[in-house]
Amino acid sequence: MEEVICANCYTPLSPVLSACPGCGDNIIITGEQKNIIDRVQPNCLIHRYDGSDLLEPAFIIKEGKTNLKAATKLKEYAKPITVPKQKTYAFDQNILSAIQSLRNERTASIRRYDQLIQSHWQQLKPYKPKT
């Protein structure tokens, strides 16, 4: 555990601290009284970038009327990103895995085509006018 988040005020903490500098609560790292967040368990999928097919697992921190605040990793918990509700989906590991697999296949195919094109370019010989 390199970084944890105070569950009361969402201040990033070092696990060696005994109290939160943000709210003053004593830090309890284990047990039933644990008052830190040390991992983010995704509960939704978000689509951040227009024109992209990238879905990201995220955790909803706060929900508004049209947007929500979400964290894709622990470090974003204190400063979550804003995502429109219409770009937020229920978390489904099977769909996420399928999309990631297809994206990896596409990347591998593009890399392979780039290598084939490069091999043809390397076969080109400079033009020499006939004298």
Q: How many domains does the chain have?
A: 3
pTM of the shown model:
0.68
Judged against a pLDDT cut of 50, whether residue 1 lies above it is answered with: no
Could you tell me if 53 and 83 lie in one domain?
yes
Residue in the structure block whose two tokens are 């399928």? 98
Could you tell me if 49 and 80 lie in one domain?
yes
Could you tell me if 48 and 66 lie in one domain?
yes
Judged against a pLDDT cut of 90, whether residue 117 lies above it is answered with: yes
In percent, the amount of the chain with pLDDT more than 70 equals 98
CA–CA separation, 75 and 100 (whole Å): 23
Range 69-95 average pLDDT: 91
CA–CA separation, 14 and 20 (whole Å): 9
Write out the residue range of the structural domain in which residue 10 sits. 1-37
So what's the pLDDT on residue 16?
Answer: 74
Could you tell me if 102 and 63 lie in one domain?
no
